[in-house]
Chain A
Amino acid sequence: MKYKRKEAFAALFFVLPSVLGIAVFYVVPYIICFVKSLFIGNTFVGLNNYLELFTNKTFLLALKNTGIFSVIAIPLLMIVSFLIALFLNSFKSISGFFRSSLLIPVVVPIASLVSVWQLLFDDYGAVNGLLNALGLETVGFFNSPFSMVMIIIIYVWKYCGFCVVLFTAGLAGVPQHLYESARLDGASSFKMVTHVTIPMITPTTFFVFLMEIIYSFKIFREVFAIFGDYPNENVYFLQNFINNNYYNLNYPRLSAASIVLSLFIVLLLLVFYLFERKHSFTQ
């Protein structure tokens, strides 16, 4: 008992730097942020900032765009990367090469990506040049609803490789005897994927989902590099709202928006976590 307590003490001792780091750089600022969200200037306003936030049309626009992006881009990336992983899993001899190739977009610098994208999709870019040559009108890719499509394509293209690697690792962990049993029972390939593969890789799927949410917030770098501080209203995301309010020195609104965003993410992850706990077959 004494030894165990000693061990626990040593363990706590070793995690102390991390705990302190998290407390100082995350927990304390989060609490400060929450407190600030209840004030305007030096006046306590209670939940007024939150109420104002939900009547602010720019915040609602950002929320809508972020929602559209998350609902379309995250499942799309999951489906595409899962299908590629499944495909590569069937051709093991070439999968190594493709897995490495698919990782290249992750390491491409944002500046290069933005340059290429502008060369292609600018009003005077290659794609519009082609459209004009075909007698079609110029499409304002950077100033139309197509901006959202562009960002979704960039997101899927950039992070697909990483998700494929994760899914491939998950697929490698599925016991082969389950497939053999299913095959003996006369299951089709589609059924084997839906009834064996997907349930068996639920923890991987959860992890991929988590990573995709993180990456969906990282995509702001690309949005910022292509469209600047004030993009057109089709690609104005919550991160733009928060970032701009920081530079606009609008702290009450910034704090309230950050708290809402964090609660939204926590809620999303909680739902998925509970779902994963309920439907995981790995045990």
Chain B
Amino acid sequence: MKNKIISLLLILILTICPLLSACDGLQVTSSDQLTFYCVGEGGDELYEFLKKYNKYCAVNDTFEDSVEFIYFESYNEMNSALATELMAGGGPDILSLTQTYPFEKLVRNKSLADIDEIVSTYNVDVDFIEFNENVMQSGIVDGKRLILPLYYRLNALYTTKEKLESLGFDPENCNFESILKAYENDSINAYLVHPYSAEAFYFSFIRQYMDFYKGSVDFESDEFYGLAEGFKNAILKGGTYAELLTYEPETSENWREPEDGSAYVFSANENNYYGGSLTTYALDYLSALEYGKEPPMLIPDYNRNGEITASIEVGFAINANCKKMDKAAKLIEYLLSDSSQGYFGGGRDDTNSFGLALPVKNSVFENAVTEAVNFESFWWGYDFDEATLDRKNKAVTEEYLPMIENISSCNLYGYNSQLKSHLYQNVVGDIITDYLNDKITTNKFVQRLTSAVTIYMSE
């Protein structure tokens, strides 16, 4: 009898312990709130918006509608949990575009909910006609609105007219073609971009040659081959990538130019992408004039069709497994409201915020233009003369605004967050760094890129 009891106990321990330890690793939540996975504080732009939404819920006594944050130590840990939970019919309710999920795949295997359906089912007060059509289109696949962009940025690199002239370019007709030609002739003594942003620049160039939804790549064309070499030469200028990464030029005052005389065609700052809000542009413009520098001049990022493009800075999707669609509907309504859009889009005059990026809502965007035009001072009592303000307004309305209005398409991943994307981290990142580090020839680079991306797109 004694032996039987001992053996029974042993059996119980043997079976229950592994089950308990297996369950321990899963961050399963039975919360009634919407859930959002994040790594630490502030690792994701959407996180800030959701925190603001929670405050809004607290003020309106609707705590049950707020979002519960589930924190992870690392993206790896978060992705492992997500991979397991999605398969089991769970996972977070809100998926942020700036996180490392493979959204192209999630779209294809129908893991994302149709936002139009949520909007119509729960009578959300949103009319998508009132939003930027070209930007919103990037979230629509096969007629279904699966991703909701909230803010976007213009894909443009910044430089100055003065700098372009000093490097022998005509600022009025400067584009990537003329820049690469100058590098081919070896007539330019400047790096194309800051080495810290070289991979992002290169990746954004490569993305022009892949179409995920059609499943096609065009890396083996002569055009791609020539540009791949041309951009690499322009980035490295005969040096090695490893050397460039360890070189840290002392930049004077702000982002413009290193003091030691080394030069970049585009900003000497590691973030050579512009893409700010309209007010930020106005601020930068006035700031440059104030410090006696040349104001920023934007050149749209390389696009093989010669179009101006944008990328989603903040966007999200709702998990198709979400059981709280009514609450998701309320969140959508809040995030697309004038108040929320204006707060981070620079369209509200009751905040001190210059805005984060460009809002997708047309009315808020128009307010943001007015705000940028009315922007006259850094701080209380600081005045610019009329001529300076006129110059700024002309730049906002005649240079920056037309570019924004001519945006023809929008990428899913922002310039800053694209290096965190699954596609870069798991598929092409190593190939790009190997190429920039001269470990592989252009032939091998094209071969490996074609093979990896083709497999990724079709598997």
Contact = CB atoms under 8 A, between A and B. Distances in A.
Given A13-B7, A17-B14, A41-B109, A249 B459 contact: no
B444 interface: yes
Secondary structure of the B side of the interface? helix
Contacts of B19: 24
Interface in B3-23: 7, 11, 14-15, 18-19
Contacts of A158: none
A18 B316 CA distance: 44
A14 B448 CA distance: 54
B242 interface: no
Given A244-B459, A249-B86, A20 B15 contact: yes
Interface stretch (B100-108, B122-130, B265-273, B403-411): B100-108
B452 interface: yes
Interface in B420-459: 422, 426-427, 430, 439-440, 444, 447-448, 451-452, 455-456, 458-459
B245 interface: no
Contact of A42 (B106, B320, B440): B320
B412 to A, nearest CB: 15
B458 A56 contact: yes
B451 A123 contact: no
Nearest to B11: A17
Interface residues of A, number: 41
B440 A123 contact: yes
A43 B102 contact: no
B459 A59 contact: yes
A73 B50 CA distance: 54
Interface in A223-256: 228-230, 232-233, 236, 241, 244-255
Interface string A59-84: 10100000000000000000000000
Chain B interface size band reads: 35 or more
Contacts of B82: 249
Nearest to B447: A143
A40 B79 contact: no
A241 B451 contact: no
Contact of B102 (A42, A248, A252): A248
Contacts of A57: 458
Contacts of A254: 87
Contacts of B458: 56-58
Interface string A180-215: 000000000000000000000000000000000000
A232 B454 CA distance: 11
Q: Is the interface of A mostly helix, strand, loop or mixed?
A: helix
Given A13-B7, A123-B440, A251-B87, A233 B455 contact: yes
Contacts of A255: 87
Contact of A232 (B88, B111, B448): B448
A251 to B, nearest CB: 5
A61 B102 CA distance: 22
A143 B109 contact: no
Interface of A: 13-14, 16-17, 20-21, 24-25, 32, 36, 40-43, 56-59, 61, 123, 140, 143, 228-230, 232-233, 236, 241, 244-255
14 contacts: A20-B15, A36-B87, A41-B111, A41-B320, A42-B110, A229-B426, A229-B427, A230-B455, A241-B459, A247-B422, A248-B102, A248-B105, A251-B109, A252-B109
Interface of B: 7, 11, 14-15, 18-19, 79, 82-83, 86-88, 101-102, 105-106, 108-111, 320-321, 422, 426-427, 430, 439-440, 444, 447-448, 451-452, 455-456, 458-459
CB-CB nearest 6 A-B residue pairs = A41-B110, A230-B452, A58-B459, A248-B105, A58-B458, A17-B14
